[in-house]
Amino acid sequence: SVFENEVRKLPLPTCTAFGSAAAPQAIAFAATDRVLSTRDSATVAARFPQSVAASGNVVLRADGLAPTRVSGKRVAALFSGGPAAGGHNVLCGIKKLLGADNTLFGVKGGPKGLLQGKLFEITDADAASILNTGGFDFLGTDRTKIKTAEQFEQVKQTCITHNLDAIVIIGGDDSNTNAALLAEFLYTGIKADGSGVQVLGAPKTIDGDLQVPGLLPISFGFDTATRIYAELAGNILQDTRSSVKYWHFIKLMGRSASHVTLEVALQTKPAVTLISEEVAAKKMSLGAIVEQIANAVVDRYKNKGLKHGVVLVPEGLIEFIPEINALLAELNDVVAHHAEAFTALPAEARPAFVSSHLAAANATLFGSLPAYIVNMLLAERDSHGNLQVSLIPTEQLLSDMVRARLVATAPDVPFSTHHHFFGYEGRCGAPTLFDAAYTWNLGLTVGALILAGKTGYMASVSGLTSGGEPLAIPLTGLFNVERRHGQDEYVIEKALVRTEAAAMQFFVSRRAAWAADDCFASPGPRQLWGPAARQMPMTVALNEGADS
C-alpha cells in the first residue's frame, strides 16, 4: 500500500560511530569511567562471578571501527514480554551489522520458544519486509520466566543443537534479568572448544520504567505508545469540550511506574492527572484521591460552569495507594498460608474466607471495595508474580467513588461519566521516527557487541539529542537483591517517576491551571516527517535538561 511504501522510506539516522549510514560497520568498545554499583553489589558479585570479573561492572562506549571483521557467528534473537513498537527494527539493525558472513536466527514465541528450540533463519528479505513495522508478530513473544535448573539446561541444549554463539533478549527489566542469569550460566563450556555463549539484552517496554540515569534515557516503545494515547486522549478532550456534558476517566497502561501517564498529561493537559509515585510519596488514601477529583469536578462547575473534564489514571495506581498496598501484602500472605483451603473454595466464597483472616483495618477496606475490584485482587498473578493491573478497572472504581461523594456532598453538581482504558492499542503501532531510529541503532549496537565478543551487557544509545552514542551497560551493575516468595531474587529496580524530576515539576507547576479551566492540547496523529516527527518524548526532553 502507499502507506507501507512511505513508512519503509522513513529516514533512519545512524549513530556516526558506525561509519556510514548506508553500510554501518562493526565497532570496538572501550571502558568509560562509569562503574555501576548498587547496595547489593557484593552479593551480586558472588552470584555472578564470571560476568562481574569480565566486565568489572564498567560501562562501555564505542571506540572507533572494529580492527578486524568477525565472521561465522550464529546468533538467536527473541522478544520477551509485552510488545513495543520498534522491536522489528532491533532485529533489522542486528541483521545489518552481522552482515552476510554471520547468521541471525529468530526464536519463535519468546523465551518459551528458546526452551523448545524453535529457531529459524532470518533472511535479508525478511528484514526488508519488517523494517519500520510495529508489533512483535514476526517472531511472537511470551512471558515465560526462565528460572528452574531444568529450563537453564533446556536453553543450553538449544545452544548446542543450533551451535549458537550468542542469544539476544529483547525485553524489559525482568527479561534483562533473565539475560544476565543466562550470560553467567552460559559463560563457558558450552561449545566443543570449551567456549561459552554470549547473551545480550535490548531495553524494551512501553512502560518506560527501564532507565539508567545518564546511560539509558528511555526504553523503546514508550514514545510510540504515548503518542498514540496522547492522540486518543486529545480527541476525547476535544470531544468533551464540544459536547460539554461528560467526565471521562481514562486509565493508561504502565504496570507500575506512571511515566506513560505523565507523558500523556504533558502532551494533552487534562483537568486531573494522578501520578502513582506522588500518591505513594504523599501517603494518600483512596478517600483523599477521590476527594481531589471531586473537588476539581465541583470547582470547575461552580467557578466556570463546566460539566465536563478528563481524568488520567495510571494503570498501576492501586498498588501505590499505601492502605491498598498494605491490604495486598496481607492478602497475599493469607492466600499463601491457606492456599489449599482457598483454592478448594468456589470463587464467590473466597472474599469472605480471606476477609475472615485479615486484620480489622484491612478487612474494613476490603469490605468497602466493589466486587469487580475484590475479584481482581484475588485473581491469579502472572508468571513473574505481578498483580494483573491492566485487568483492574481502577478508572471505574474512582468514578463510582467520586459519584458517591458528590451525591453526599454536592448533589447539585452534574456528573455524567465514561470510562476508557488505553493500553493494547498503543503497543504495536508503526514506530514513531524516534522509536524507529532508536531501535535501529540499538540493533546495530547489539550486533557490534556480539562481534566484539561481549556478554552480559544491555545495549543503549544515549545522547539522543546530539546524534546518539552507542553504549553497553553491564547488567550485573544494575542488580539489587529482593526477597520474593521466600527466596532471594536478582532484580533490576524499576525506574519510577521521581517527584523531584524536571518533567514532574513542570507538570506540578501547571496542573492547577489545567484543572481550573479547559487548557487542553490535542496533538493529533503521530507524524513521520516534519518538525513534530523529531520531537522526543517530553518527559525525556525535560529530564535530560531541554528548555521548557
State yes or no: residue 255 binds ligand FBP (CB under 6 A): yes
Return the range that interacts with ligand FBP (CB under 6 A); candidates 66-74, 79-87, 237-245, 343-351: 79-87
x-marked contacts with ligand FBP along 422-441 as a string, rule CB under 6 A = -----x--------------
Return the range that interacts with ligand FBP (CB under 6 A); candidates 70-78, 205-213, 263-271, 429-437: 205-213
Residue in 312, 354, 360, 351 with CA at minimum distance from that of residue 334: 354
State yes or no: residue 284 binds ligand FBP (CB under 6 A): no
Return the range that interacts with ligand FBP (CB under 6 A); candidates 204-212, 281-289, 338-346, 527-535: 204-212
State yes or no: residue 205 binds ligand FBP (CB under 6 A): yes
Identify whether the C-beta of residue 460 lies closer than 8 Å to the C-beta of residue 203: yes
* CA–CA separation, 209 and 196 (whole Å): 31
Residue in 308, 271, 262, 252 with CA at minimum distance from that of residue 520: 271
* CA–CA separation, 285 and 324 (whole Å): 8
State yes or no: residue 389 binds ligand FBP (CB under 6 A): yes
The sign one gets for the Cα dihedral 382, 117, 451, 490 is: positive
State the number of binding residues for ligand FBP (CB under 6 A): 14
Mapped onto helix, strand or coil, the DSSP state of residue 201 is: strand
State yes or no: residue 261 binds ligand FBP (CB under 6 A): no
At residue 445, what are phi and psi to the nearest 5 degrees?
-65, -45
State yes or no: residue 87 binds ligand FBP (CB under 6 A): no
Identify whether the C-beta of residue 262 lies closer than 8 Å to the C-beta of residue 275: yes
State yes or no: residue 110 binds ligand FBP (CB under 6 A): no
Looking only at residues 211 through 240 of this chain, which bind ligand FBP when binding is defined by CB under 6 A? none
Identify whether the C-beta of residue 270 lies closer than 8 Å to the C-beta of residue 514: yes
CB-nearer residue toward ligand FBP: 427 or 511: 427
Contacts 24+ apart (CB under 8 A), 15-23: 15/62, 15/441, 15/444, 15/461, 15/467, 15/468, 15/469, 15/470, 16/467, 17/62, 17/469, 17/470, 18/97, 18/441, 18/444, 18/448, 18/470, 19/65
User: Which residue from 111, 254, 447, 470 is in contact with ligand FBP, where contact means CB under 6 A?
Assistant: 254
Q: How far is CA 317 from CA 105, 175, 325, 466, 523, in A?
A: 39, 23, 10, 35, 25
State yes or no: residue 81 binds ligand FBP (CB under 6 A): yes
CB-nearer residue toward ligand FBP: 372 or 529: 372
State yes or no: residue 312 binds ligand FBP (CB under 6 A): no
State yes or no: residue 394 binds ligand FBP (CB under 6 A): no
- Residues annotated as part of the active site: 207
Identify whether the C-beta of residue 217 lies closer than 8 Å to the C-beta of residue 546: no
Looking only at residues 141 through 200 of this chain, which bind ligand FBP when binding is defined by CB under 6 A? 172
State yes or no: residue 207 binds ligand FBP (CB under 6 A): yes
Which three cell numbers, joined as nine digits, stand for 428? 504495536
Min dist CB 172 to ligand FBP, Å, is 4
Identify whether the C-beta of residue 198 lies closer than 8 Å to the C-beta of residue 154: no
State yes or no: residue 253 binds ligand FBP (CB under 6 A): yes
* CA–CA separation, 257 and 261 (whole Å): 9
Mapped onto helix, strand or coil, the DSSP state of residue 31 is: strand
CB-nearer residue toward ligand FBP: 167 or 253: 253
CB-nearer residue toward ligand FBP: 172 or 309: 172
Question: Which residue sits closest to ligand FBP, CB atoms considered?
Answer: 81
Return the range that interacts with ligand FBP (CB under 6 A); candidates 113-121, 201-209, 226-234, 436-444: 201-209
CB-nearer residue toward ligand FBP: 208 or 351: 208
The footprint of ligand FBP (CB under 6 A) covers 81-82, 84, 172, 205-207, 253-255, 315, 389-390, 427
